[in-house]
Chains A and B, each alone.
Chain A
């Protein structure tokens, strides 16, 4: 390789990247091979011991499954609702589109901690406005929402969907706006119905944006933490304990830094595999 002027210009950025990104990653691999525990005197090399322990950790496995459930629920519903909203805004709302988009952009801008505290008020089992609305429409059920093991994950799903559906809508709307008008005009001239237009022209052209939107949201939900910390602390019991929260508990409440790093790497490996499968098979068949 020939060193020239440009190398020196790139070098500072590369060094920063190595220090800020690559070093912590490699260090976390190193740490994951030790029983590095802040409360124990000195860490010992244990090889893959942490990884093997994780594979037998029923709480970790359960939190992974729960996270998967949450990702599937959130991404599916948020994508469908976001698409519906984006199509409605694209086809039916003309003058007020800007205003509606601005209003719908508010929830994603609210910090998740605030959403968690709002959730405590909105889903308060005694003074819940949601339960009041259920009563108004004569639905007798009074769910205990985040304070019940049966509905805690559902409550988190509802809050996340409220917050992030507009984000999905924005991405899809931007994709819609980018579709050349000529395509739509030509299918209309050919006599396509609105449904056929959406099915055969709009959705295929939204493919790239959809892939990005779904991937973004899925990765984001995998990191969900603040709402759970504020609203349920993983409970009742472990009913809303997702994998990111369990890793937090392990690393920063039990101080098992090595084991926490191993859990994080296992999660990364699983995610990478799933992302590969998603991109290779799901996206291709779209």
Chain B
């Protein structure tokens, strides 16, 4: 072999080797976590569906094997806490209720750096998440510990077909001296609820009612009853203090739940129950949804986005010739303060978020999985469910790109009615308590609120005084100063 030929063969070999090596690196770059196993603990049932669905895409893109462990919601926190405390963590990613973030934060990986380092298509577009979810679900103590996977938020739903009926509008104006409009204040809410509460055989829209009709219905079975109390409590407290509502005095950690404004709020809630179906104190989601959407025998309710997502299911009014059913959506009512300002809030439910265990053996791979599941491209599929691609997930919209998505609005055009309400809710959203013992605080509040609503405790002050005493005990058990710091952290003021 001549020297020239030898050199040519060597040069070709080098070129081939280089090409092979670069294509090998390219392949590696395509699947950077080949062989890595990521375990995720999720809410069992429909909430687990997308994790299974996306597992094969994650495997194709990253080479990661996704192991999904399901747990019922009542077991999720204990399993998550014990699982991420261990070294290495038993679960790399956990789904949890954001109310528990204070207890889980020491074992969770802050995601701020990952979010900054992963812009563009591979990222999670954190700024696209509606501010109320960003601040109150995903962040704690000024750091990002989780990403929203379910945009649970509340709206006031009303029967627009009823509110627009000329006979009813005329009768309402004659009785109350002002136009029938969706209620902006709790005072107006009580008026409208009273106005529409009628017995079978009475007239509605000029026709004979075929069944009893009620002004409102809330989901008042414990322990969730505290949600509906807080809808009234927040604006009353805010109006009384002419500022943002609070659960505690941030300086002393003295509970504010038995102040004059809080008592008034509870009395208003009790008054509202007069215009609700009998037995409403035992109602859960299904009874509330059924009465409002399926039976059409309720004028107003405050509920999650489900009614809006399923607006075509709204039943006609229970009269012989009902108008075409029409759903109206707005914010829950507020209270006008002595300063003339309308204080109005809705609840950012301490709903489902997902975070990465600090002790995860593969935090980067875990981030790859989480950012895939929570990327705008793929989480749109989750919140649009049920669709042909994605079965029911129970996930609600939580991004600007969700509520304005042309695909979403083409697929579910009736959701347009929700856009304005979402925009308002993004600004008026208020969080549930997020600090150690949060659930215990709220459950005990629920117990005594319910005791008053059911007549077990005869006066609102007595009930709230008892709740206050319980709150003080919890605060003392955890330590007043540490709870104060946690309470401030909830508002982003340092953990």
A residues in contact (CB < 8 Å) with B: 37-40, 120, 124-126, 142, 144-150, 231-239, 249, 252-255
Contacts and interface: CB of A to CB of B under 8 A. Distances in A.
A148 B454 contact: yes
10 contacts: A126-B279, A144-B282, A147-B278, A147-B280, A148-B279, A149-B455, A234-B222, A239-B456, A252-B74, A254-B440
A147 B451 contact: no
Interface string B439-456: 110010001101111111
Contacts of B478: 39-40
Contacts, number: 92
A224 B456 CA distance: 22
Contact of B453 (A150, A234, A236, A238): A236
Given A39-B103, A126-B279, A232-B282, 7 more contacts: A38-B78, A38-B81, A125-B282, A236-B454, A239-B451, A252-B74, A253-B439
Contacts of A238: 447, 451, 456
B279 A237 contact: no
Given A39-B436, A235-B450, A144 B457 contact: no
Contacts of B223: 233
A249 B454 CA distance: 21
B436 A147 contact: no
A39 B103 CA distance: 6
Contacts of A126: 212, 277-279
B443 to A, nearest CB: 6
Contacts of A231: 282
B198 to A, nearest CB: 15
Interface of B, helix, strand, loop or mixed by DSSP: helix
Contact of B278 (A125, A237, A249, A252): A125
B450 A236 contact: yes
A238 B447 CA distance: 7
Nearest to B82: A38
A234 to B, nearest CB: 7
B241 to A, nearest CB: 29
Determine which residue in A125, A126, A235, A252 has the highest number of CB atoms from chain B within 10 A of its CB, and name it: A235
A38 B75 CA distance: 13
A231 B447 CA distance: 15
B495 interface: no
Contacts of B328: none
A252 B281 contact: no
B254 interface: no
B71 to A, nearest CB: 13
Determine which residue in B78, B450, B478 has the highest number of CB atoms from chain A within 10 A of its CB, and name it: B450
A35 to B, nearest CB: 8
A149 B439 contact: no
Given A233-B221, A233-B222, A235-B454, A145 B443 contact: no
B279 A145 contact: yes
A75 B417 CA distance: 56
Nearest to A236: B454
B282 A237 contact: no
Contact of A149 (B103, B212, B279, B451): B451
Interface string B207-242: 000001000000001110000000000000000000
Determine which residue in A37, A39, A234, A249 has the highest number of CB atoms from chain B within 10 A of its CB, and name it: A39
B123 interface: no
A235 B455 contact: no
B437 A237 contact: no
A144 B283 CA distance: 12
